Amino acid sequence: TEDMLRTSEKLSMAGQLAAGIAHEIRNPLTVLKGFVQILSHSETGDKGRYFELMESELCRIETITSELLFLAKPHGVSFEQRDIRVILQEVVVLLGTEAIMRNVLIECDYDDVVTMVTCEASQLKQVFVNIVKNAIEAMPNGGTLSIKVTRVHDSVHIQFTDEGVGIPAESVPRIGAPFYTTKPGGTGLGLMVSQKIILSHGGTLNISSQVGVGTTAEISLPAVFPTSP
């Protein structure tokens, strides 16, 4: 059986989020501070290793802050009518090399009925990148990610189905909560940000998963109907 969960019901409170961000950024900062102290006192020795570690901690801060910037951009967002298939295709091309390197085949099956949506294209792209990356990361031995676009009544459905490790039932309620990650280098921000973006587009994001079988992320967005000239 499938475990359906609604990530869209798990929006965090601002305070909780702020505390999480402070914590996530303080950790690499503490490490950096320690290394700066060591380096300022050491005359000789192998400093290269310290610089390497400092760089990786700085990268982590950079990743966290850039993922969060998408949340802090309510102004200057321009909504326009776009074909969802074109945006998806851009993401498939963008992540194509990474997929090939990891033995992941991306299959696309696009309905040819109405697939226009009103959106901020760069934000939707960010969502698709997050989901496709999660799928690739869930298949360490390779596999197939199938992306399916269909029109159901007044909405456009986009399904991303992978053959990855899946999500254990007990972890399911935590998916989409800020900073929840099971990956060594993960931020646990991807699905939280994605969910926010999809909600701001009047849509929904649901994830269903089965351990050992795979995971499906399903996005539903209001469809735009072509107006007669």
Binding positions for ligand ADP, rule: CB under 6 A: 130, 134-135, 138, 162, 164-167, 175, 180-183, 186-192, 215
Residues of the shown chain interacting with Mg ion in the complex, contacts defined by CB under 5 A: 134, 190
Pick one of ligand ADP, Mg ion, none as the site partner of residue 180 (Cβ within 5 to 8 A by kind).
ligand ADP
Choose the contact partner of 136 out of ligand ADP, Mg ion, none; CB within 5 to 8 A by kind.
none
**CA nearest to 50, candidates 65, 61, 39:** 39
Nearest distance, CB of residue 74 and Mg ion, angstroms: 23
CB of 11 to ligand ADP, least distance (A): 14
- Own/partner pairs, 143-147, CB within 8 angstroms, 24+ separation: 143/103, 143/104, 143/105, 143/214, 144/104, 144/105, 144/106, 144/107, 145/99, 145/104, 145/105, 145/106, 145/107, 146/106, 146/107, 146/108, 146/109, 147/88, 147/92, 147/106, 147/107, 147/108, 147/109
Q: Give the residue with the Cβ less far from Mg ion, 117 or 138.
A: 138
Provide the minimum distance between the beta carbon of 190 and Mg ion in the complex, in angstroms, as a whole number: 3
Side chain identity at residue 30, one-letter code: T
In the complex with ligand ADP, the residue whose CB is nearer, 140 or 202, is: 140
CB of 4 to ligand ADP, least distance (A): 15
| CB closer to Mg ion out of 190 and 203 | 190
Spatial distance between the Cα atoms of 36 and 33, rounded to a whole number of angstroms: 5
